[in-house]
Amino acid sequence: MHSKSENDSQNLPPSLFVDLDKTLLEQEILVELARSIGRHEAMGRQTGRAMRGEESFLENFSRRIRLLEDISVETAVQVVKGLRFRNELLGVMRCWPGPVAIVTSNLDCWVSPLLLGLGFPFYCSTAETNGVGQPIGVRTLLHKRGIVEAASGPTIFVGDGANDAEAIAASDLGVGFWPDRQVVSSVLMAVQYIFTSEERLCMFLRQRSSLTPPDGGVD
């Protein structure tokens, strides 16, 4: 059920909201942090359960944070700064005619070093930290749907996991992105479209925004 009408503020360019892990980033931040201490397999399993919505996101997220308790703040910053963005999607966001924001359930202490230099507003969860700044839990969990509902004018949300499903359903145009081709039922039931290729996703977004592709041609 899409809660906003496409007739709402039709002349405004839509706000584009993009999830971070595995959507704008090629990797999952928590899995890559866990890789640096050899716990990536356990983290990958837990992350898969969260993505598919098999248990409470907050409970699962808290458990995943505890898996990373041995990582120093400096190491964490180094790891997240080495993550790869999806450049074509980033290019579409940079040329987007309306408001753009990154919306992630991930913690401020991990996403801020990555996103502060990017130039887009971002919304994230906040961490409960110990005396040396290491995250030990979730202080506030971001509810992505609220970000979409607070936007004025039409909205597009692009995401991949179960924790994106409500925001996708609340947006005027809900878009799923499954580069790993993992079916997530709650996302499938909420979207209008799902893409498995970044190129096709970007073609679609350009078409929706009347953006010209980077080479100036017509796609």
Phi, psi of 158 (to 5 degrees): -115, 120
Can you tell me which of 94, 152, 189, 212 binds another protein, judged by CB under 8 A?
Answer: 189
Q: Which helix (H) or strand (E) holds 127?
A: strand 122-129
Q: Using the rule CB under 8 A, is 157 a contact of another protein? A: no
Phi, psi of 205 (to 5 degrees): -65, -40
Residue placing its CB nearer to another protein in the complex, 18 or 65:
18
Q: Using the rule CB under 8 A, is 197 a contact of another protein? A: yes
Distance of CA 182 to the CA centre of its chain: 16
Q: Using the rule CB under 8 A, is 181 a contact of another protein? A: yes
Instruction: Give how far Cα 201 sits from Cα of 92, 177, 205, 206, Å.
Output: 10, 8, 6, 9
Can you tell me which of 16, 79, 191, 202 binds another protein, judged by CB under 8 A?
Answer: 191
Q: Using the rule CB under 8 A, is 138 a contact of another protein? A: no
82 and 33 Cβ atoms separated by less than 8 Å: no
Residue placing its CB nearer to another protein in the complex, 132 or 218:
218
Distance of CA 118 to the CA centre of its chain: 14
Kindly indicate which of the ranges 24-32, 37-45, 137-145, 175-183 contains the residues binding another protein, using the contact rule CB under 8 A.
175-183
Site of interaction with another protein (CB under 8 A): 176, 178, 181, 183, 185, 188-189, 191-197, 199-200, 204, 207, 219
